[in-house]
Amino acid sequence: MARASAVEAHSIEGSTPRSPVATLASASEPVSRRWWASFVMARSADFSDHVAQVAAAGDGVPAIALLTGVQFVLLLDSSIVTIALPTLAHAFSLTRISVQWAMTAYVLPVGGFMIVGGRLGDLLGARRVLRAGLCVVALASLAAGLAPSWPALLGARAVQGLGGAAVAPAALSLLASRFEGPRLHRVLAINGGMLAAGYSVGLLLGGVLSATAGWRACLLVTVPIVASMALLVPRVICECGHPRHARGPSLLPSVLITLACLAISLVVTRAAAHPDDLAGTSFLGVLTVLLAVGFASADRRVRAPLVSTVLTRSRNMLGGTSTTLCSSVPMGGVLVLVAIFLQEVSGLHPVPAASVMAVAGLASLIGILHTPRMCGRWGERRTLFGAAVVQTIGLLDLTVAVGIGSVPLIALGVAIAVLGHVAVLVVSGALVVGGAAAADRGVASALLTAAEQLGSGVGVAVLVAVSTAAAPGEAGGAAVQIHSGTQAAMLVASAMAFGAAMMSRRVVGGQATRPPEG
């Protein structure tokens, strides 16, 4: 889904970024089509107004275009592979439980090293880190597109994730350091729109390329774009501010938390693929616990902890981060399973399948736009609970839609679930970043994004494993296995989202309070 920054969304109340909308001819009546057209035209006009106001101010327009373009490409690079998963599976003769690693191998390094990337920007300069990260992303994308084997592809995707972990916080830091006041809000509105658009365009472009040029084109298409951006960085962007840390960030906690999440993913995938191998699964389970304990111990000992100094200061900060993590786990796997289901069971070609899933971009737009208003009316705690309930309803709709094989209901379920999830991210941003001290807001923002990415990465592995374990025997055929397994996974995802709703009521307190700046 379009992972729009919760910090940006909380800052742009009243702003209206735009996302492309795909038309579902088979699922839309004439009145419905006119309604969607009117809605998109209104959002487009408002977004154009934001762009016009920023352009009228003069200075910084090339920098804004480049930095928001970076965010667009990162989301595109992430989502473009989703629709290509069935094509990848056929090319390398992979099962569902194996092909999901094309997503997991990218997402886990992004989440695990996001905070390190932000601190490197503080230490070395955000512009320098941005350029280096773009070079890493370009080279890794090239290696992935030319990968001769499945292990080589996974390795390149992991390096892509490391580059993304450096690029994302550096780009946002450079945006935030250049502008202030109403102009900053307009710039962040544009950036939020580019994030949502990047996800939707990635799905549509992935559908077109995988259907016409193959999976390699999906990974190679962004190489010249990212390389050009890396060349433009020193010409367009000036460094703002000075390094704030005397010492560099410790890598050990990031390495341990990434390995712990990887071990969790291995546990569930091995348990599903080899249910009789209790010894191997148990070994991985013990390894997961040891890595988690090692992370907690190492994080307390380092000079600049990843989580200890942030989460222990506020109940709302802990609750917002925990709810984000629990809400992100089901969404990562759901979108992957829906992409596979639409192509392997519903029989849609990649382009129509991508069009169905592109409604997630519009849902993200609505969530970014309206959730801050709901927070002002109902308060963060009630809005967070309501958002998680909406996500649960969307996932229950998907459970029913998959059971009866209705493509229009699947599109509706995706839209509702994504709307609720994005609203969770927005409210969590208000709680976590709004409750952090001035010196900790950058770390708090990165921590929230890391929780989302890590939860999504683990969720892909968990729900694909559930769908594999719940599928009937080989006698049912591949389509029947995917059908039954996907429905079971959607039901489990619904239970996870409901658990996130219950957690928000128990852990989160009242309104978020911002501590003194000093």
Torsion 392-398-401-404 (CA) sign: negative
Task: Report pLDDT for 391.
Answer: 93
| Contact indicator for 497, 391 with CB cutoff of 8 Å | yes
- Chain center to CA of 277: 33
Query: Regarding the domain delimited by 309-518, which CATH topology (the fold level of the hierarchy) does it fall under?
Result: Growth Hormone; Chain: A; (1.20.1250)
Average pLDDT per run of 10 along the chain, which is 518 residues long? 45 36 33 41 46 48 84 84 85 82 84 77 82 94 92 92 87 74 64 74 84 87 92 80 53 77 75 71 83 80 63 68 85 85 85 83 79 80 89 93 90 91 82 64 69 80 81 63 84 90 73 43
Task: Report pLDDT for 231.
Answer: 92
For residue 146, the SS3 value is coil
Task: Report pLDDT for 186.
Answer: 67
Task: Report pLDDT for 57.
Answer: 45
Looking at domain 59-237, its CATH superfamily turns out to be: MFS general substrate transporter like domains (1.20.1250.20)
| Contact indicator for 441, 449 with CB cutoff of 8 Å | no
Q: What is the DSSP letter of 511?
A: S
DSSP string, 71-128: HHHHHHHHHHHHHHHHHHHHHHT--HHHHTHHHHHHHHHHHHTHHHHHHHHHHH-HHH
Alpha helices in 345-477 (DSSP H): 350-357, 359-378, 380-404, 407-432, 441-470
Helix then strand then coil, in percent of the chain rounded to 5, is: 80, 0, 20
* CA–CA distance, 508 with 383 (Å, rounded to integer): 11
Task: Report pLDDT for 38.
Answer: 47
* CA–CA distance, 433 with 436 (Å, rounded to integer): 5
* CA–CA distance, 103 with 94 (Å, rounded to integer): 14
Distances (CA, A) of 129 to 243, 440, 454: 12, 20, 22
| Contact indicator for 255, 286 with CB cutoff of 8 Å | no
Look up tokens 């994308």; give the residue: 141
Tokens matching residue 390:
């909406």
Task: Report pLDDT for 69.
Answer: 87
- Residue 515 phi, psi (nearest 5): -70, 165
> What is the reported pTM?
0.74
